[in-house]
Amino acid sequence: MRRPLTVAKAPIDEVIDADHQLTRLVFAFITASAVWLVFGTLVGLYLSLKFRWPEIDHVPWLTFGRLRPIHTNTVFWGFASNGMIGLAYYVVARTSRQRLHSYKLGWISLALIQISVVAGDICLAAGINNGAQEYREYIWPVMALFAGALVLTCYNFYWTISNRTTKEIYISNWYIMGALLWTISLATIAYLPFYQYGFAETAIQGYYMHQGVGMWFTPMVLGLTYYFLPKLLNKPIYSYSLGVLAFWTQMVFYTMIGAHHFLYSPLPWWLQTVAILFSIGMLVTVVAGTANFLLTMKGSGHAVRNTYAVPFLLVGVVYYFVGSAQGSFEALRSLNMIWHFNNYTIGHSHITMYGFVTFLIWGGVYGLLPRLSGREARQLFIGMHFWLAFIGVLIYGVSLSIGGTLQGLSWLAGKPFEDSVTLMAPYWLWRAIGGTLMFGSHLLFAYNVWCMLPSKSRDEAVETYTEVPSAS
């Protein structure tokens, strides 16, 4: 049978006999993630409409300046973090061939994250924020809950890995543990106030903004992909050494480049220059990582055609390269001058956080969930999810990259400020159109996750099954 949007894909080949408690925990994280995605991007879509119709409402807690951090923090800490951590619980236990150290701590982490996102968003809507510093808008009592969840997760993973029954620590776990350790340190450094008075705040903000995306989301999804890609293709990763190289350069280079968010600011000139040099150096990391994934995929064209998870991974890997290469250019003084402060950066944020991070999470979810529950979502809907999201983010990225460049050039040419606002009108409209497609795909994603949830009867069956050996 021919389908309009998707080709028929092979059904899943195996149902993993994972332990039942782990399955439940993973599903809880992924469900939370899907809910936050729908909510967070509904807000994003609404924001994008406000650029066209600023008078759309007069409700104080729906004003742009309060909703924008709700959008960014919800998709960061609600959607992406839940999704990544949920998948990581499975990957860490699986690759260590060991039961998770503690399910209870897993559930507590899950609860802490949800509480922090709910509380954080309510505070933001009420105008209570941490000083309008991007991605650290949640006030510290709220962020402490989130950090607590990371500490518990990290502890849980550490002991699972320590007690592994395999010889090696699989490379995915380097990235996942690295991401957790880095982000815990990062959050602590960023939230301690003592050295952040006056302009010192900016030195920490550049560092924080960058490590937030570079030491949390990036290593997490890369680690997951090091597991899911070879697994779904049923072959080993192309090169372990490339992975090692990418890992260490990630840690050293990425940490150094936060100041590139404040080029030409009063930050010490040497710090800016260091940031630029390492931004270029990041090409090494990115090429190593991308090449490793693409070479693993080489010759597996059939998998892209025949499964629905691998196309998501392929798109994610390509966007990893595109977005990061774009970032390296943005860090050059001559180009940053034009692209800084305008919509080009918003384009970059979505090319990376959406094209790269979000697609890889989806790839993992579609790769894992049906195998855990034995229930598949409808292929048509997965296919539609893929194409709507793919075309949507393409429109988003291209329109803002063009519009942003024109904004920068208009400032450079000394045109009145007005021009840089009015010229954006068509591009903002395109962004809203792309955003609508993206949002539609998120509804489908949430529905698909629902379809993949384990059925009640199977649930109980497994329950009795797992209880038997533990009693013996």
Partner 1 sequence: MRRSFYERPALFFGVVFFGFIALSFVVAVGPAIEIQAKHKPLPGSQPMTPQELRGFDVYIAEGCPYCHTQQVRPLKMDAVWGRPSVASDYARLEPLHWWMETPGVLGSERTGPDLTNIGKRQPSEIWQLIHLYDPRAVVSWSIMPSFHSLFEVTSSPAADATVVPVPPDFAPSHGKVVAKQRALDLVAYLLSRKQAPLPEGVGGEAAAAPAAPAAEAGGGGAQDEGAMLYSANCASCHQAGGTGLTSTFPPLKDDPVVNDDDPTEHISTVLHGAHGRTINGVQYPVAMPAFKDMLSDAQIVAIVNHERSSWGNSGKPVTEEMVAKVRKEGAPQ
What's the gap between Cα 221 and its chain centre? 7
Q: Under rule CB under 6 A, how many of the chain's residues touch ligand HEC?
A: 3
How would you class 31 by CB atoms within 10 Å of its CB: exposed for 0-12, middle for 13-18, buried for 19 or more? middle
The CA angle 343-197-260, to the nearest 5 degrees, is 35
Which of partner 1, ligand HEC, ligand HEM, none does 86 bind, CB closer than 5 to 8 A by kind?
none
How far CA 63 is from CA of 43, 78, 127, 182, in Å, comes to 11, 21, 10, 34
How far CA 294 is from CA of 298, 314, 445, in Å, comes to 6, 8, 26
How far CA 216 is from CA of 90, 171, 210, 453, in Å, comes to 18, 16, 10, 27
Does 421 engage in binding with ligand HEC (CB under 6 A)? yes
Instruction: Pick the closer one to partner 1 by CB: 177 or 309.
Output: 177
Instruction: Pick the closer one to ligand HEC by CB: 65 or 131.
Output: 65
Span interacting with partner 1, options 34-42, 199-207, 283-291, 461-469, rule CB under 8 A:
199-207
Instruction: Pick the closer one to ligand HEM by CB: 105 or 275.
Output: 275
169-185 burial string, b = 16+ CB within 10 Å, else e? ebbbbbbbbbbbebbbe
How many of the other CB atoms lie within 10 Å of CB of 5? 13
Answer whether 375's CB lies under 8 Å from 23's CB.
no
> Closest approach of Cβ 188 to partner 1, in Å?
9
In angstroms, the CA 355 to CA 323 distance is 8
Which of ligand HEC, partner 1, ligand HEM, none does 99 bind, CB closer than 5 to 8 A by kind?
none
Among 110, 113, 271, 438, binds partner 1 (CB under 8 A): 271
Q: Please give the span between the terminal C-alpha atoms of the chain, in angstroms, as a whole number.
A: 49
In angstroms, the CA 257 to CA 273 distance is 9
> Closest approach of Cβ 64 to ligand HEC, in Å?
4
Interface residue list for ligand HEM (CB under 6 A): 41, 44-45, 47-48, 68, 71-72, 75, 80, 134, 209, 213, 217-218, 260-261, 279, 282, 286, 323-324, 327-328, 330-331, 336, 339-340, 345-346, 348-350, 352-354, 356-358, 435, 438-439
> Closest approach of Cβ 342 to ligand HEM, in Å?
8
Instruction: Pick the closer one to partner 1 by CB: 27 or 208.
Output: 208
Does 91 engage in binding with partner 1 (CB under 8 A)? no
Instruction: Pick the closer one to ligand HEC by CB: 55 or 168.
Output: 55
Answer whether 87's CB lies under 8 Å from 224's CB.
yes
Give, as ranges, the residues between 94 and 133 that touch partner 1 (CB under 8 A). Answer: 127-133
Answer whether 381's CB lies under 8 Å from 430's CB.
no
Contacts of 103 (CB under 8 A, 6+ apart): 21, 22, 25
In angstroms, the CA 124 to CA 132 distance is 10
Give, as ranges, the residues between 236 and 295 that touch ligand HEC (CB under 6 A). Answer: none
Instruction: Pick the closer one to partner 1 by CB: 236 or 266.
Output: 266
In angstroms, the CA 337 to CA 339 distance is 6
Does 162 engage in binding with partner 1 (CB under 8 A)? yes
Can you read off the two tokens belonging to residue 183? 């982000």
Among 75, 91, 112, 215, binds partner 1 (CB under 8 A): 215
Give, as ranges, the residues between 40 and 69 that touch ligand HEC (CB under 6 A). Answer: 64-65
Instruction: Pick the closer one to partner 1 by CB: 304 or 337.
Output: 337
> Closest approach of Cβ 72 to partner 1, in Å?
10
Contacts of 106 (CB under 8 A, 6+ apart): 25, 89, 100, 153, 156
Which of ligand HEC, ligand HEM, partner 1, none does 129 bind, CB closer than 5 to 8 A by kind?
partner 1
> Closest approach of Cβ 470 to ligand HEC, in Å?
57
Q: Under rule CB under 8 A, how many of the chain's residues touch partner 1?
A: 93
> Closest approach of Cβ 437 to ligand HEC, in Å?
23
Instruction: Pick the closer one to ligand HEC by CB: 52 or 99.
Output: 52
